[in-house]
């Protein structure tokens, strides 16, 4: 199919109509303006510069990394004052997933900051788990959690997070991730916690090569033995690593807009390495990272890749399939879900 014959609206409808998966998505990154405003009112919070709903809308229009950090730390995370507030976050996630026809997702949840504020891990996870079960029952959408043990607060905090996961087992928690400040928390420092997690049967992934060079990706593979790499875009600087990723087919969870936004290695779709990785035979997937914060949802990501002539529609279908097969579902579950996706895709081939 030619890219140019249909309108943008037609393409977005096609992209919507296919049931999809997403594997690099942060829970707070789906927060809505309404949730934040209702929490500010509920807890009577005084946040400088925020006097009404419109002020929040303005702060959601982030233009650079500082705006993003300000919104994330000072507004979004600051508004959650008790565990039950997370039920609103699950409601936002549900709306986001429905808007984009995402039927299965693995979502990062970072509890460290909340635990420091006195929240109970068990109560938080009970709300999230209950919410996930309700969404599965009512909408047929499956949400699994990867607990971000965080590299921002040191290995001891990460082990503490892992112990909480193991102590309060929930069916929706399937593994751990390593997020936070990549430049301040080298992967090798988290070798022990990842080994313990793997031995306990948890899946393991890590953000790497988003803000630090290829050595961070190597270390995540060799020291942490991760099943997937979050971002991984600095692999473009290391031919040996690109070959290794091709051979091993370790999936990269690429979030193009997030990378363009943070501007560490790329500043536009055109200079994003995703196409080079794809042509090299590496395993790439497309995700959003923090969709409501960047104002860029999964359908928009796929659409922009089409619109900028980075991928054809047929290749986008392939990327959707790759995303599904990079999940932690069983092969039988993946094949069944691909059956559903392929049925819709066939109409457009």
Residues that bind Zn ion (CB under 5 A): 289
Instruction: Quote the CA–CA distance of 140 and 101 in Å, as a whole number.
Output: 11
Alpha helices in 77-154 (DSSP H): 78-79, 86-99, 112-116, 121-139
Phi, psi of 108 (to 5 degrees): -80, 135
Give dist(CA 126, CA 142) in Å, integer: 16
Q: Give min distance, CB of 6 to Zn ion, in A.
A: 32
Nearer to Zn ion, 129 or 289 (CB): 289
Task: State the CB neighbour count (10 A cutoff) for residue 84.
Answer: 12
Instruction: Indicate the angle between helix axes 86-99 and 121-139, nearest 10 degrees.
Output: 30
Nearer residue to Zn ion within complex by CB, 254 or 306: 254
Residue nearest to Zn ion (CB): 289
CB of 52 to Zn ion, least distance (A): 30
Query: Which of 19/207 has CB closer to Zn ion?
Result: 207
C-beta of 50 vs 173, nearer to Zn ion: 173
Encode burial over 220-238: b for 16+ CB neighbours within 10 A, e otherwise: bbebbebebbbbbbbbbeb
| Distance of closest approach, residue 320 Cβ to Zn ion, in angstroms | 20
- Minimal distance, residue 258 CB to Zn ion, in Å: 7
Using CA atoms, how far residue 285 sits from 81, 119, 156, 210, 254, in Å, is: 35, 34, 32, 15, 6
Question: CB-wise, 103 or 208, nearer to Zn ion?
Answer: 208
Extract the tokens encoding 141.
């959408």
Smallest separation, CB 153 to Zn ion (Å): 17
- Cβ distance 196 to 158 under 8 Å? no
| Residues contacting residue 337 through CB under 8 Å, at least 6 positions apart | 19, 21, 103, 104, 324, 329
Q: Which is nearer to Zn ion, 141 or 255 (CB)?
A: 255
DSSP-assigned beta bridge partners for residue 220: none
Residue 40 contacts by C-beta under 8 Å, 6 or more apart in sequence?
A: 47, 50, 56, 79
Shortest separation between residue 287's beta carbon and Zn ion, angstroms: 8
- Name the minimum Å distance from CB 179 to Zn ion: 6
Minimum Å gap between C-beta 312 and Zn ion is 27
* Of 92 and 289, CB closest to Zn ion: 289
Answer whether 201's CB lies under 8 Å from 167's CB. Answer: no
- State how beta strands 228-231 and 142-148 pair: unpaired
Minimum CB distance to Zn ion, residue 207 (Å): 5
Nearest to Zn ion of 73, 336 (CB atom): 73
Nearer to Zn ion, 83 or 289 (CB): 289
- The full DSSP string for 16-65 is HHS-EEEEEEEGGGG--HHHHHHHHHHTT---TT-SSHHHHHHHHS--SH
């Amino acid at each position: 199919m030619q890219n140019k014959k249909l309108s943008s609206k037609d393409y977005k409808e096609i992209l919507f109509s296919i049931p999809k998966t997403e594997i690099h998505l942060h829970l707070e990154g789906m927060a809505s303006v309404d949730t934040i405003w209702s929490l500010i009112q509920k807890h009577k919070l005084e946040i400088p510069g925020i006097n009404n709903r419109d002020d929040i809308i303005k702060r959601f229009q982030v233009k650079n990394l500082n705006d993003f950090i300000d919104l994330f730390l000072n507004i979004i995370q600051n508004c959650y004052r008790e565990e039950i507030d997370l039920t609103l976050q699950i409601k936002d996630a549900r709306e986001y997933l429905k808007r984009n026809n995402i039927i299965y997702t693995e979502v990062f949840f970072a509890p460290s900051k909340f635990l420091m504020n006195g929240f109970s891990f068990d109560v938080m996870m009970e709300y999230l788990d209950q919410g996930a079960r309700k969404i599965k029952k009512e909408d047929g959408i499956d949400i699994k959690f990867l607990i971000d043990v965080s590299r921002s607060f040191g290995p001891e905090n990460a082990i503490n997070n892992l112990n909480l996961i193991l102590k309060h087992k929930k069916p929706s928690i399937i593994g751990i991730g390593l997020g936070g400040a990549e430049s301040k928390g080298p992967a090798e420092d988290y070798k022990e916690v990842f080994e313990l997690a793997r031995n306990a049967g948890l899946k393991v992934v890590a953000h790497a090569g988003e803000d630090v060079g290829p050595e961070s990706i190597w270390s995540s593979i060799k020291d942490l033995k991760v099943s997937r790499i979050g971002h991984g875009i600095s692999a473009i600087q290391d031919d040996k690593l690109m070959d290794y990723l091709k051979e091993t087919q370790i999936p990269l969870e690429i979030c193009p807009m997030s990378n363009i936004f943070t501007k560490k290695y790329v500043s536009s779709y055109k200079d994003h390495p995703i196409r080079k990785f794809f042509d090299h035979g590496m395993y790439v997937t497309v995700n959003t990272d923090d969709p409501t914060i960047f104002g860029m949802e999964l359908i928009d990501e796929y659409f922009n890749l089409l619109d900028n002539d980075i991928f054809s529609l047929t290749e986008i279908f392939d990327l959707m399939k790759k995303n599904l097969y990079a999940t932690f579902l069983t092969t039988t579950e993946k094949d069944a879900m691909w059956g559903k996706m392929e049925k819709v895709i066939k109409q457009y081939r």
